Amino acid sequence: MRLESRVAIVTGAGGGLGRAHARLLARYGAKVVVNDMDQAAAARVAGEIVAAGGEAIPVAASVTDEAAVATMIGGVMSNWGRVDILINNAGILRDKTFAKMSLTDFRLVLDVHLMGAVICTKAVWEIMRQQQYGRVVMTTSSSGLYGNFGQSNYGAAKLALVGLMQTLGLEGEKHNIRVNCLAPTAATQMTHGVLAEEALQCLDPKLVSPGLLALVAEQAPNRAILCAGAGHFARANITLTKGVQVGGDADAGEQVIAQWEQIGDRTDELVPAYGFKQAERELAAAGYVAPTMAER
C-alpha cells in the first residue's frame, strides 16, 4: 500500500503515538502535517521525517483553538492543495476518582479529546466532501469502551468519539469519507505512572501504528473500532441482543427483572447498521413494521 498522493494531518504528533503515526504515514509516502502544542516537538518530528526522505511540515496549534486550527488547514491547502487523512490523536489525562474530580478537570478532558476532534474534523470536512475523498480516525480507548477506575472524564470523552464516528461515518459515506476509531494501548507520556515499567516496555507506540494503515487505506472500512497494542489487533463492536418483548402490562417492570438473563442473552446478537435499527426492531416486536432507513 502506498500513500504518495495523500496529505495527512496528525494531531498531538510531537511524541508518543502521534509521532509513531506521523512517521509511519510518511514512510508510506504521505505528506504529513505534524501538529502539536509544542513547536519544538513538532519541528523535531517533522525533521525526522524529512531526514528519512519524506515530506512534513510542523504546525504548533491547540486543537481546541478554532482560529488556530483554521489557520493550520489554510496553510495545508496553500502548500499541498488537499487534505486526505486526519488522525485525531491529541489528548490529555486528568485522572481522579469521580468523587475527587473537579468539574474543571472533567470539562478540560472533554474539551481536548472530544471538542478538539470535532473542531479539527469540522475544519477538513467540507474539503473532503468537495474532493470526494477522506479518511478520518478518532482515537478512542478501552477506558471509554469498557470503563477504567479513576477515568470518568477520559472514558466519557473517548466513548463520545465512538458516537461521533458512527454518525460521521454514515453522513460521509456517499462522499467517500470513511471514519473509524483506533483504541490504542501504548507506552506514552499519558500512560507512565499508570502501567508497570516492564509492561510499558512491551507497549512501544510503533506496535500500534501499523493498524492505522488499515483505517486510512483506499479500501478502508467505515465505522470500525480497531483495538491495538503490543502488536496485537482486535475489533470491538457495540452490539444489540435479540431481547424479549414484554409489552406494556402493569407488571412490565417485574417482567424485565424476571427475564433479565434472557434479555441479556448474546445468542444471535447483532451490530446495528444505524441507530434507528433498535427502534425498527422494537416496533416490529410490538406488531408495527416501520419503514427502514433505506425506505424513508
- CATH number for the domain including 26? 3.40.50.720
What integer best gives the mean pLDDT of the chain?
94
Q: Is the pLDDT of residue 100 over 90?
A: yes
Domain count, the chain: 2
Question: Among 206, 236, 266, which residue terminates a domain?
Answer: 236
Q: Is the pLDDT of residue 165 over 60?
A: yes
CB atoms within 10 A of CB 98: 11
Judge if 269 and 191 occupy the same domain: no
In contact, 59 and 14? CB cutoff 8 Å: no
Within 173-247, residue ranges assigned H as helices are 197-202, 210-216
CA 181, chain centre distance (Å): 4
Judge if 138 and 87 occupy the same domain: yes
pLDDT at 130: 98
pLDDT at 120: 98
Which amino acid is residue 40, in one-letter code? A
Mean pLDDT on 112-119: 98
Q: Is residue 22 part of a domain?
A: yes
Judge if 144 and 178 occupy the same domain: yes
pLDDT at 187: 76
**Among 48-57, 95-104, 197-206, 232-241, whose mean pLDDT is lowest?**
197-206
pLDDT interval class at 36 (50, 70, 90): very high
Q: Is residue 247 part of a domain?
A: yes
Report d(CA 34, CA 56) in Å as an integer: 7
Judge if 98 and 200 occupy the same domain: yes
Q: Is residue 30 part of a domain?
A: yes
Q: Is residue 100 part of a domain?
A: yes
Q: Counting Cβ atoms within 10 Å, is residue 35 exposed (0-12), middle (13-18) or buried (19+)?
A: buried
Q: Is the pLDDT of residue 194 over 90?
A: no
pLDDT at 195: 67
Report d(CA 67, CA 202) in Å as an integer: 39
Q: Which helix (H) or strand (E) holds 204?
A: none
Q: Counting Cβ atoms within 10 Å, is residue 9 exposed (0-12), middle (13-18) or buried (19+)?
A: buried
Beta-bridged to residue 179, according to DSSP, are 136
Write down the catalytic residue from 28, 133, 146, 154. Answer: 154
Q: Is residue 2 part of a domain?
A: no
Judge if 262 and 210 occupy the same domain: no
Judge if 70 and 127 occupy the same domain: yes
pLDDT at 54: 98
Q: Is residue 1 part of a domain?
A: no
pLDDT per residue as tens digits for the range 196-209: 677 778 889 999 99
pLDDT per residue as tens digits for the range 136-160: 999 999 999 999 999 999 999 999 9
Judge if 145 and 124 occupy the same domain: yes
Question: Among 236, 261, 280, which residue terminates a domain?
Answer: 236
Report d(CA 33, CA 128) in Å as an integer: 16
Q: Is residue 254 part of a domain?
A: yes
User: Residue 288 is part of which domain span?
Assistant: 239-296
154 annotated active-site: yes
pLDDT interval class at 295 (50, 70, 90): low
In contact, 82 and 59? CB cutoff 8 Å: no
Mean pLDDT on 126-131: 98
Find all residues with CB under 8 Å of 217, minimum gap 6, and list them: 1, 135
Cell of 198: 516492564
Question: Among 236, 256, 275, which residue terminates a domain?
Answer: 236
pLDDT interval class at 293 (50, 70, 90): low
Question: What is the phi/psi pair of residue 95, to 5°?
Answer: -75, 130
